[in-house]
Structure 1
Amino acid sequence: MAGRAGPDIKVCNFVAADKQWTNSIRLETEAAKKWANRWGFLVTQRNQIEAEQEKLRKKCRMLTPEHLKVRPASPISKYIQVGPSPVVPKTTQGFIGWRSAVPELELERYGSPRQGKWSFLHQMKWPEDSID
């Protein structure tokens, strides 16, 4: 029993593993040398196509007329002035449109929001403890 390996012990042959590694490296270097003879035409054609396209780009490029050129950017503060914020509303309903500078866009045109006098239970004439 002492000479046998158990099911969970792996026996590794270092010489065979080294031979496999050496063969894979040799095959990769040979393939790299042969690649240029077999597939090198793809690279040369691609380089030629890119060179032709670059020549066409330079040939067809037009100069932009002065009236169509983009003017340099000016500071935003020249056109937009931001004043102080108004007082923060007390209700969440007041948050809607509260920073609007245009009075017509404000949603609270008719004053601050109010709670109604009647509840649904009171309108239906139900007792207050009918719902949890």
Structure 2
Amino acid sequence: MEDTQRTSEPVNFVHRDEIWKAHLKVEKEAAKVWPNKWGFLTEVYMECERESVKLKEAVRAKHPHHHLAARPPTPEKNIHLGPPPPIPQTSQALIGWRTGYSHLQLEKYAPVHHGRRSFMEELGWPFGSCS
């Protein structure tokens, strides 16, 4: 709360004490008014808590050890994969054989051109202006 950088100004302890008392008074008044103004929220919260406990107990009764159950090893619907295209006989053997097929390439939408532009060129500056 206290600013340690300001050492030239004298500290008025009485004024700070009055400010603190005003803050406490406002807080006490707000605590008195809160149940009348916002007390309905506690009832709604307690009702939600009760419903949550009931739902958790129902799930626990239906599946007592559901957190220990293993997931099925395969997805529910079967995935059918066709045979891969034949591997071409090249000097590289397996390296890069998928690049010849457009449907197997990694760039689905367009080739990637990151880093092909120059920041200096975009600003219209000469290339030797920054070093």
- Fold shared by both chains (TM-score > 0.5): no
Q: TM-score, normalised by structure 1?
A: 0.37
Higher RCO (Cα < 8 Å, 6 or more apart): 1
